[in-house]
Amino acid sequence: MNEADLIYPPDQITLREVGLRDGLQMVSQFPSTEGKKAWIAGEYAAGIRHFELGSFLPRHKYPAFADIEDIIRFAADLAEVHGAALSPNLRGSQLAMASGVAEVNCVISATEAHNQANLRRSRQQTLDEFAAIIALRDQSEHQPLVGIGIAMSFGCSISGTVDPEDVLALAAQLLEMGADIISIADTVGYAGPAQVAHLTAQLRDLVDGRPFGVHLHDTRGMGMANAAAALGEGVRILDASLGGLGGCPAAPRASGNIVMEDLVFLCHSSGFDTGVDIEKLIEVRDILANEMPTEELYGSMAKAGLPLILPDNAESVMRIS
Amino acid sequence: MNEADLIYPPDQITLREVGLRDGLQMVSQFPSTEGKKAWIAGEYAAGIRHFELGSFLPRHKYPAFADIEDIIRFAADLAEVHGAALSPNLRGSQLAMASGVAEVNCVISATEAHNQANLRRSRQQTLDEFAAIIALRDQSEHQPLVGIGIAMSFGCSISGTVDPEDVLALAAQLLEMGADIISIADTVGYAGPAQVAHLTAQLRDLVDGRPFGVHLHDTRGMGMANAAAALGEGVRILDASLGGLGGCPAAPRASGNIVMEDLVFLCHSSGFDTGVDIEKLIEVRDILANEMPTEELYGSMAKAGLPLILPDNAESVMRIS
């Protein structure tokens, strides 16, 4: 079994907390370093093992991620935890490799226009940079995984419709270049479940047993429906954030990441074991609320609590209210 | 083609606005009669044709529904509109029949405990009452449809797990008695999409071409995922309310009905035509906000607006922001 399969076991669903990166990119307040550690420790106690811990962006411009190395070290000390960090470019990837983080995440857009808007370079320039990043990985001592997310895979807020064939061709090229994990991202929440099922199935066939992820946003309320569709087509890795922390750049009042605690309920009700205790997870929302009192937290499980009995294809639990 | 098939065409998805009944049952404020009429007219202009208009409950205890006859007459004057009203008992059904409403909706619970708690009688007593209501229908001049909803079909906040076989046996019995339409209701939002798909498929096979409905609540955030699952298994009628108006009796801070405008987006993104204009629908939220300023309105489409282009299996539209 290769490294990626050890970290993302093929027979398990991996739920990855991305609030410390994708969430904090969109908030007006950010937590203290101690607050971040309490957040990670709380989710760890609830059973979460995969975290995107932050981003290697210039510190003076992105103070929310200035403590990224400290956070990476903290997470690495927790048994079984797999930490990832986003890198926007080669310089960021050099810092990420040096930090010892277990996975370096990079991003490219499905459309030229969004790649230019987001990364200020062409898709070809981004691909060239990936080649250099993958070479860096190959030369590095600890050989982190390189995960690449394809932004706007389901439609683009600049270019509109995205052809699934373009996304799949890009995914094939990235795998060929040596990327360990490909993720398709509904960056602005355009997708419905039919579209998610279709592209997930095609990517599953393309990756041919290698791990792949689906990164969904709940901007138009389709988050759980889309997650269910992706699960139905065999996705192995789903991203979410506690309380849905983080908004949407294209729609100021709208929500962003799908809600982790609701996603766990979806998985359990669909018969997938996650190892996560929903009630313990919900308690961690208090840390976010205290650290970022002006940020809205989303989600239904925190308000409603567990059902008296879970659906009959999952284990029985006590309700909290 | 029989009457029920004319009103709920077998080859179309019918989205039924239940906010005027299920929504107003749970709110602390209720709209004026003129406000209700503006609400209905607004949704009618957006393309909604099916409304549950209120409930025949004692007026002194339930003033929100005191104008039910007036509302029924108003809706009946709109071309193509099909109005329904809930009746909790034989007396309510007598009034409903006399009002000329096109459909009388009744409810029974999947569990004995909830039937007692909700209707203060046994399920057998409720079934006996249905027999009398169906006889009333057969003797009535305008022969309204009788729709029967099975509450707690996916789990009960009193009794816990519900056996799908019990729900199906009850549905078969109700059809045998002469009910025109059976609906299964996730009254307290316990279901996940796997469970909804399973029971919907079984009910679809049972009704053998007759219309049937699925009434979902979004209490635990599974509303859209569950609606997608029901659509995938051939449901013909889905209930929702504008802005998700109405809460959950079992979880005070939680949401209730699924959000109509988000459901329309789900349908369109899944390739189902609804005839509904989402942007016009969203505008009607202002009427609800003005009439019931303290009630929370839910939903994502109202915040995010339409995508730049809808997914490629649906028509192109302009985005609103």
Sort out which chain A residues have CB atoms less than 8 A from B155's CB and list them. 307-309, 311
Block residue for tokens 């982190």: A144
pLDDT score of B36: 98
pLDDT score of B27: 87
Sort out which chain A residues have CB atoms less than 8 A from B229's CB and list them. 228
**b/e for A201-213, b at 16 or more Cβ within 10 A?**
bbbbebbeebbbb
Q: Say which of B190, B229, B270 has its CB closest to residue A192.
A: B270
Sort out which chain B residues have CB atoms less than 8 A from A229's CB and list them. 228
Q: Say which of A194, A259, A268 has its CB closest to residue B270.
A: A194
Q: Say which of B251, B255, B266 has its CB closest to residue A225.
A: B266
Contact state of A303 with B225 under an 8 Å Cβ cutoff: no
Count of positions (residues) in chain B: 321
* Residues linked to residue A145 through DSSP beta bridges, in sequence order: A103
- Whole-number Å distance between alpha carbons of B88 and B154: 21
Block residue for tokens 């997870």: A281
* Domain-located, residue B310: no
Q: Is B11 on the interface with A (CB under 8 A)?
A: no
DSSP B304: H
Contact state of B270 with A193 under an 8 Å Cβ cutoff: yes
* Domain-located, residue A320: no
Residue B6 is inside which H or E element, if any? Answer: helix B3-7
Residues A299/A261, Cβ–Cβ less than 8 Å: yes
Range of the domain at B160: 3-304
* Domain-located, residue B126: yes
pLDDT score of A160: 94
Sort out which chain B residues have CB atoms less than 8 A from A308's CB and list them. 155-160, 190
CA distance A104 to chain B (A): 31
Nearest CA in chain A to B253: A303
CA angle A86, A131, A17 (to 5 degrees): 20
Contact state of B312 with A161 under an 8 Å Cβ cutoff: yes
Taking one residue from A and the other from B, the number of pairs with CB-CB distance under 8 angstroms is: 176
Q: Say which of B154, B269, B301 has its CB closest to residue A195.
A: B269
pLDDT, averaged per 10 consecutive residues of chain B (321 residues), comes to: 86 96 91 98 98 95 96 98 96 96 98 95 97 96 96 95 97 98 96 98 97 97 98 97 86 86 97 96 98 95 87 39 30
Contact state of B307 with A192 under an 8 Å Cβ cutoff: no
- Whole-number Å distance between alpha carbons of B265 and B269: 6
Residue A72 is inside which H or E element, if any? Answer: helix A68-76
CA angle B208, B140, B18 (to 5 degrees): 60
Note the pTM of the prediction, 2 decimals. 0.95
Q: How many domains does chain A have?
A: 1
**DSSP three-state, residue B122:** coil
Mean pLDDT of chain A: 93
Contact state of B304 with A269 under an 8 Å Cβ cutoff: no
Contact state of A300 with B255 under an 8 Å Cβ cutoff: yes
Q: Say which of B265, B270, B313 has its CB closest to residue A220.
A: B265
* Domain-located, residue A321: no
pLDDT score of B3: 83
Sort out which chain A residues have CB atoms less than 8 A from B313's CB and list them. 194-195
* Domain-located, residue A313: no
Contact state of A194 with B262 under an 8 Å Cβ cutoff: no
Which is nearest to B285 in space by CA: B69, B24, B42? B42
Which is nearest to A239 in space by CA: A184, A310, A166? A184
Contact state of B309 with A160 under an 8 Å Cβ cutoff: yes
- Whole-number Å distance between alpha carbons of A108 and A123: 7
* Domain-located, residue A2: no
Which is nearest to B134 in space by CA: B98, B172, B175, B166? B175
CATH number for the domain harbouring residue B185: 3.20.20.70
> Up-side HSE of residue A115: CA atoms within 13 Å toward CB?
18
* Residues linked to residue B237 through DSSP beta bridges, in sequence order: B14, B213
Contact state of A228 with B156 under an 8 Å Cβ cutoff: no
* Domain-located, residue B320: no
Q: Is B304 on the interface with A (CB under 8 A)?
A: yes
Put simply, the chain A residues between 12 and 31 with a CB less than 8 A from any chain B CB are: none
pLDDT score of B26: 85
CA distance B241 to chain A (A): 15
Contact state of A220 with B251 under an 8 Å Cβ cutoff: no
Q: Is A318 on the interface with B (CB under 8 A)?
A: no
Nearest CA in chain B to A187: B307
Sort out which chain A residues have CB atoms less than 8 A from B228's CB and list them. 192-193, 225, 228-229
Q: Is B178 on the interface with A (CB under 8 A)?
A: no
pLDDT score of A1: 65
pLDDT, averaged per 10 consecutive residues of chain A (321 residues), comes to: 86 96 91 98 98 95 96 98 96 96 98 95 97 96 96 95 97 98 96 98 97 97 98 97 86 86 97 96 98 95 86 40 30
CA distance A160 to chain B (A): 5
* Domain-located, residue B92: yes
Contact state of A262 with B222 under an 8 Å Cβ cutoff: yes
Known catalytic residue at B106: no
Nearest CA in chain A to B309: A160
Q: Is A197 on the interface with B (CB under 8 A)?
A: no
CA distance B3 to chain A (A): 32
